[in-house]
């Protein structure tokens, strides 16, 4: 189901990128079907490791095992399958766990992780997760969402606006929010060309719009596509899980390492050196910029070969 959603995304993006001929649309639709067969459906639900994580890396442990008077910092994780950690083989590989343990080490105290992320969630459905968080407000919220937004049939601008609204709800309650923006779907090798380039173009456009919406509404945006795409493109066998669609444990570890300093900054706990400014667009993404020319060339080629 998740794969189907992501591939439908690319077809819709192609249509809004200037229009495709019927033959071109048919070709892309056929490629989407092939990619769905290659990737296949998820074989299991994501692992869970909610609970208290200690600076030593141990966890989750029951709250009753904490020393009397010690209260853990509360971390909530919201979003889709990437936030839930679908594809990880061990609880310690989950992105929420990686961030929780790193945050505990930085703080020198326990961190309690609660995961509200749902596989297949879109930004339209994020409000329900925010409702759940606000019943017991945490110290900080981490959100990763965007790859499934095509199913909402909403334009990029509206998807980003919806995200901004939920960030504002949390910020207005005094909760710092860190958002990992939409990953680059062009890094998913089972999606063939030119469908992969179209998917990349859409996801990068959404990531840029998300970043503006998050920062405008008082949150912290981390451009995962810009910061992680080179790693995923260079080492796909290591950074993707066996379904070749969701990250592996190594992929999630790389994401957690990027997200952790910003989460620490959000709660005033970062003790490391100054962070370099995050790029607005990576060199890898820039190299794939002429997607519209690829689509135009495809249209021309198919037109020339029509009987």
Residues recognised as catalytic: 81, 243, 246
Q: At what angle do helices 156-172 and 195-216 cross, to 10 degrees?
A: 30
What does the buried/exposed string (b/e) look like for 62-90 if buried means 16 or more CB atoms within 10 Å of the residue's CB? eeeebeeeeebbbbbbbbbbbbbbbbbee
The token pair that represents 84 in the structure block:
């839930």
270: left (phi over 0), alpha (psi -120 to 50) or beta: beta
Q: State the Cα–Cα distance between residues 111 and 105, nearest whole angstrom.
A: 9
For the chain, the first-to-last Cα distance in angstroms comes to 36
Residue 61, strand partner residues: 52
Q: How many helices (H) and strands (E) does the chain have?
A: 12, 6
The token pair that represents 60 in the structure block:
């989750």
Q: H or E element: which one contains 74?
A: strand 73-79
| Cβ pair 76, 141 in contact under 8 A | yes
What does the buried/exposed string (b/e) look like for 233-257 if buried means 16 or more CB atoms within 10 Å of the residue's CB? beebeebbbebbbbbbbbbbbbbbe
Reduce the DSSP state of residue 274 to 3 states and report it.
coil
Strands 220-222 and 177-180: parallel
| Cβ pair 160, 125 in contact under 8 A | no
């Amino acid at each position: 189901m998740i794969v189907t959603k992501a591939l439908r995304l690319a077809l819709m993006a192609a249509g809004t990128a200037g229009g495709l001929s019927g033959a071109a649309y048919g070709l892309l639709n056929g490629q989407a079907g092939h990619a769905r067969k290659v990737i296949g459906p998820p074989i299991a639900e994501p692992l869970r490791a909610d609970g208290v994580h200690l600076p030593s890396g141990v966890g989750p442990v029951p709250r009753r095992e904490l020393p009397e008077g010690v209260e853990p910092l509360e971390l909530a994780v919201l979003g889709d399958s990437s936030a839930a950690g679908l594809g990880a083989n061990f609880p310690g590989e989950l992105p929420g766990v990686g961030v929780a343990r790193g945050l505990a080490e930085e703080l020198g105290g326990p961190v309690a992780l609660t995961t509200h992320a749902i596989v297949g969630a879109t930004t339209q459905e994020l409000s329900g997760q925010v409702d759940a968080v606000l019943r017991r407000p945490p110290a900080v919220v981490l959100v990763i969402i965007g790859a499934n937004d095509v199913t909402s049939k909403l334009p990029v601008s509206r998807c980003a606006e919806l995200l901004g609204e939920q960030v504002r709800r949390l910020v207005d309650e005094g909760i710092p929010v860190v958002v990992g923006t939409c990953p680059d779907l062009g890094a998913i090798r089972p999606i063939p060309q030119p469908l992969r380039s179209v998917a990349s173009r859409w996801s990068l456009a959404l990531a840029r719009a998300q970043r503006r919406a998050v920062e405008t509404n008082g949150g912290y945006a981390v451009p995962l596509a810009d910061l992680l795409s080179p790693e995923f493109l260079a080492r796909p066998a290591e950074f993707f899980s066996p379904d070749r669609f969701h990250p592996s444990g190594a992929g999630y570890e790389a994401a957690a390492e990027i997200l952790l300093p910003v989460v620490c900054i959000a709660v005033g706990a970062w003790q490391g050196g100054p962070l370099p400014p995050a790029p607005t667009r990576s060199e890898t993404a820039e190299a794939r910029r002429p997607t519209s020319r690829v689509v135009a060339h495809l249209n021309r080629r198919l037109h020339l070969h029509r009987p």
